[in-house]
Amino acid sequence: MEAKRVSLSANPRQRANFLSILTFWWTVDMFRKGYNQTFDISDLYTPLEEDRADRLGDRLERQWNRQLELHSRTPSHTPSLVRAIFRTLWKEWLTLSVLAFFAEVVLRLLQPIFLGRMLLYFREGSNMTREDALYYAGGMVAVRAIIVLCDNQYGIISVLTGVKAKIAVCSVVYRKSLRLARNALGDTSPGKMVNLMSNDVNRFDIASYLVCFMWTSPLVMLLAALLLWYEIGWSGVMGLIAIVIITPIQSYTGTLTSRYRLRTALKTDERIRLMDEIIAGIAVIKMYAWERPFAKLISLARRKEMNEVLKSGYLRALYMSFQLFTTRAAILGVMLAFIAFDEDITAAKVFVAASYLSNVSYTMAGLFGRGIAELGEGLVATRRLQRFLEYDEVPQEEETVKSNRPKDEKETENGNVGETKRLLDETNDSLPEDEVAIAMHNLTARWTMPNESHDTALEPLNVPATLSQLDIQFKRGCLIGIVGPVGSGKSSILQVLLRELPIESGSLNMGKCSIAYASQEPWLFTGSVRQNVLFGEGLDQYRYRQVLKVCALQPDLAHLPAGDMTVIGERGVSLSGGQKARICLARAVYRKADVYLLDDPLSAVDAHVAKHLFELCIGNGGFLKRRNPNATRILVTHQIHFLKQADWVVVMKEGHVEAQGTPQDLQKRGIELEHLEQGEPDEDNIITDRKISHTSTSSTVTVDSVTLEDLTSGDVNEADIAKEKFEASSQGTGARVGISPIRLQCRQLVDLCRFSATVRCDAACR
């Protein structure tokens, strides 16, 4: 179904003053509304301007690009995603550091001092007045109130900082996934990306809360030791020995936790990869009844993953258990030191020592130890994310990719020596730049291995070039056909234009033209047919209806339960191969582009449907040419008979151009296009008002009452009349109907009976 756009409420946090932010008063309206009614999606608040995903992603991407630039200028500088994240959110980290220093170092150590002074009032023979004791008590209450406010603000800001880091990293990872080079796709998988964006980024939540305690906790311990020595003496310092002993043990368990976290992540990646493969081939698994073997395989992978999770859980329970008795062990040490040094045990000394030791135990044994473990896991997750961000990318689009050949080297055309001067006609050799959409000059390209560096890309390799010495000019507004045997490099030319295939030498001039691409293997996502066709573009009702007509999708939509709003399964599992191919073609046709790259879209459909698509959509009299006369259409196909209407034909063989020219020029030079169907009628004699077929892969009705002018007419009323004519003809009015499915099955049944009777008679005679 189409996603509904809901207008969200304005965020009251955007206009809240300092006091409202400090006391969270801006949330009162939300609690009042939630008390009176059930929340709806429209009750959600719009995000703050600084919290939007695009802004956070842009900030982190700039910092990450700076890291890469520094590495390119200074190879000794290692890029760091952690450094990029800290520089992106430096204001938030500065605010957290100020709050942590003020609350943990200043206020928490000031509270035991007030407590000790107040307890002196209750000693026998104390000369402290009642007013002074009340002042100290009031100071304790005020300090505690300020600590509560600071802790609340620290907690909410740390959570928001963690969420910002997650959003920024997810945004950068998503952008990176759209720019991955083809050779880098072999090192990753969709399951790994899901794991990165769901499990690994979750480490930023708790890490953002604990990162400030990594430097405040040792400072609190040092200052507490000095204050204990000043207030109590060496007996108070002896109580810190238990904390000093337990803290390294917790730190070591934290490092072990990070190791098991890495092992767990690798096991999770393997399990998700297996699940992706099983889901992709579930039809084959069900057909051969392989459910149990594959279930055992998944159970084994899950068992290995759970073993690592249990080991990490045991370590986590170990260092968290230390927090329960660390304070008590420290107080016990102080009491033993009092007894050993034969000192007086007073209430003031005991309570002051307990207060200091409780603060140190909370920060060192609790937060510092846990921080080491969580930050260790966060560093493991960050290294995995950084490794993904360092994959090779598709080169940035430039107007010209320059060649590495010498300037005095003369460009040569492809083909044998005898026809070198005749492959490109004179008008195409010296075309003005305005008439050329794409130009390739002496272009050579080859696929690189995933681990191959860019420095070795220009060195001579033993692997043959995918494309070699191409000199092709694609004229603006023309239909260019690319033909050749399997593996000759037809689709590789499109991959070069899409910046997927790295260029080794030569030049490619594409200008700033927009591209629409229909892949050879149809790709669909879970959603409605309309969503797959629009693919994020705005809905133009008239253009959308015309695209459905010329792509022969209307008869198929009539059989779907909800028409174009029918939700198809994952990867279009509920559709036939021809339907998926036509939806992908419609997606490319609907997009208003300068260049249309069509990678064999006619191979997955029937012959009459292929003729429909070519005549009404791709050909010179079709939808693309009529709506945009300057649109360049590059068609890769094995159905050679359609290319008689092409403006230019490129014949590929073993990665180089064997011949190119107009179809008439190739015929005059005696170059026969392979796999030419002799029985195909002459396409040159086709006129615009000829009758066409409107059958799909799931229909057997042939309609001859709708003409080409009716289906591609620019008038909306005429288009609706043509639609009604088509619907009436499909029901039998004025239509020529072929053999119905029932009659065809009856004939097959009669033939089967005849064959069976013949076999029985032959057996009886014997």
Amino acid at residue number 225: A
Residues 56 and 34 placed together within one structural domain of the fold = no
Greater pLDDT, 717 or 436: 436
Buried residues in 243-271 as b, exposed as e (16+ CB within 10 A): beebbeebbebbebbbbbbbbbbbbbbeb
DSSP 142-191: HHHHHHHHHHHHHHHHHHHHHHHHHHHHHHHHHHHHHHB-GGGGGG--HH
Instruction: Let me know if residue 218 belongs to a domain.
Output: yes
Average pLDDT estimate for 334-342:
82
Last residue of a domain, one of 642, 669, 696: 669
**pTM of the predicted protein model:** 0.65
Residues 214 and 326 placed together within one structural domain of the fold = no
- As a whole number of angstroms, the distance between CA 316 and CA 309 comes to 10
Helix (H, G, I), strand (E, B) or coil at 505: strand
Amino acid at residue number 616: L
pLDDT at 753: 56
Average pLDDT estimate for 376-384:
87
pLDDT at 97: 93
Instruction: Let me know if residue 706 belongs to a domain.
Output: no
Amino acid at residue number 120: L
Residues 559 and 646 placed together within one structural domain of the fold = yes
Q: What is the pLDDT of residues 384-397, one digit of tens each?
A: 899 999 888 876 65
Instruction: Let me know if residue 504 belongs to a domain.
Output: yes
Strand 503-509 vs strand 400-401: parallel, antiparallel, or unpaired? antiparallel
Residues 3 and 61 placed together within one structural domain of the fold = no
pLDDT at 359: 84
Of residues 382, 134, 362, the one with CA closest to residue 258: 382
Q: What is the pLDDT of residues 464-475, one digit of tens each?
A: 788 888 888 888
Residues 6+ apart with CB under 8 A from 451: none
DSSP 525-571: -SEEHHHHHHTT----HHHHHHHHHHTT-HHHHHHSTTGGGPEE-GG
Last residue of a domain, one of 635, 652, 669: 669
Residues 116 and 199 placed together within one structural domain of the fold = yes
- As a whole number of angstroms, the distance between CA 13 and CA 8 comes to 14
Percent of the chain whose predicted confidence (pLDDT) is above 70: 79
- Look over the chain and give the mean of its residue pLDDT values, rounded to a whole number: 78
pLDDT at 430: 40
Average pLDDT estimate for 484-503:
86
- As a whole number of angstroms, the distance between CA 256 and CA 265 comes to 14
- Range with lowest mean pLDDT among 284-288, 366-370, 387-391, 471-475: 366-370
Q: What is the pLDDT of residues 28-71, one digit of tens each?
A: 988 988 888 888 888 888 888 888 899 999 999 999 999 999 98
pLDDT at 130: 87
> 101: burial class by Cβ within 10 Å (0-12, 13-18, 19+)?
middle
Task: Describe the chain by its helix, strand, coil percentages, rounded to 5.
Answer: 60, 10, 30
Give pairs for 128-135: CB < 8 Å, separation 24+.
none
Highest mean pLDDT out of 82-86, 409-413, 734-738: 82-86
- Range with lowest mean pLDDT among 328-332, 633-637, 725-729: 725-729
pLDDT at 292: 92
Per-residue pLDDT band for 751 (boundaries 50, 70, 90) equals low
Instruction: Let me know if residue 20 belongs to a domain.
Output: no
- Range with lowest mean pLDDT among 90-104, 211-225, 691-705: 691-705
Average pLDDT estimate for 298-304:
92
Of residues 361, 348, 328, the one with CA closest to residue 114: 348
Instruction: Let me know if residue 730 belongs to a domain.
Output: no
pLDDT at 232: 80
Q: What is the pLDDT of residues 395-449, one digit of tens each?
A: 665 444 444 444 344 333 343 433 333 333 333 434 445 678 888 888 888 876 5
Instruction: Let me know if residue 347 belongs to a domain.
Output: no
Helices and strands (H, E) in the chain, number of each type: 28, 14
Strand partners, 567: 528
pLDDT at 416: 40
pLDDT at 123: 79
Amino acid at residue number 29: D
Which DSSP symbol is given to 469?
Answer: E
Average pLDDT estimate for 602-622:
89
Highest mean pLDDT out of 17-26, 185-194, 454-463, 732-741: 17-26
> Is 70 exceeded by the pLDDT of residue 450?
no
> Is 80 exceeded by the pLDDT of residue 722?
no
pLDDT at 732: 37
Per-residue pLDDT band for 155 (boundaries 50, 70, 90) equals very high
pLDDT at 407: 39
Residues 117 and 5 placed together within one structural domain of the fold = no
Task: Find out whether 414 and 658 touch, Cβ atoms under 8 Å.
Answer: yes
> Is 60 exceeded by the pLDDT of residue 541?
yes
- Range with lowest mean pLDDT among 357-366, 486-495, 674-683: 674-683
Residues 586 and 626 placed together within one structural domain of the fold = yes
Task: Find out whether 371 and 206 touch, Cβ atoms under 8 Å.
Answer: no
What domain range is 11 assigned to?
1-15+28-45
Task: Find out whether 595 and 624 touch, Cβ atoms under 8 Å.
Answer: no
pLDDT at 395: 65
> Is 80 exceeded by the pLDDT of residue 225?
yes
Average pLDDT estimate for 499-524:
86
pLDDT at 489: 87
Instruction: Let me know if residue 437 belongs to a domain.
Output: no
Residues 311 and 174 placed together within one structural domain of the fold = no
Average pLDDT estimate for 318-332:
77
Q: Tokens standing for 114?
A: 């007030």
Strand 567-568 vs strand 632-636: parallel, antiparallel, or unpaired? unpaired
Residues 6+ apart with CB under 8 A from 632: 437, 438, 474, 475, 476, 477, 478, 480, 513, 594, 595, 596
Average pLDDT estimate for 198-223:
88
- Range with lowest mean pLDDT among 2-11, 198-207, 651-660: 2-11
pLDDT at 426: 34
pLDDT at 120: 82
> Is 50 exceeded by the pLDDT of residue 517?
yes
pLDDT at 672: 63
> Is 90 exceeded by the pLDDT of residue 676?
no
Residues 328 and 379 placed together within one structural domain of the fold = no
Number of domains forming the structure of the chain: 4
Last residue of a domain, one of 669, 686, 709: 669
Residues 149 and 284 placed together within one structural domain of the fold = no
Greater pLDDT, 331 or 402: 331
Average pLDDT estimate for 533-544:
90
Greater pLDDT, 142 or 697: 142
Residues 557 and 546 placed together within one structural domain of the fold = yes
Instruction: Let me know if residue 425 belongs to a domain.
Output: no
pLDDT at 449: 59
Residues 588 and 664 placed together within one structural domain of the fold = yes
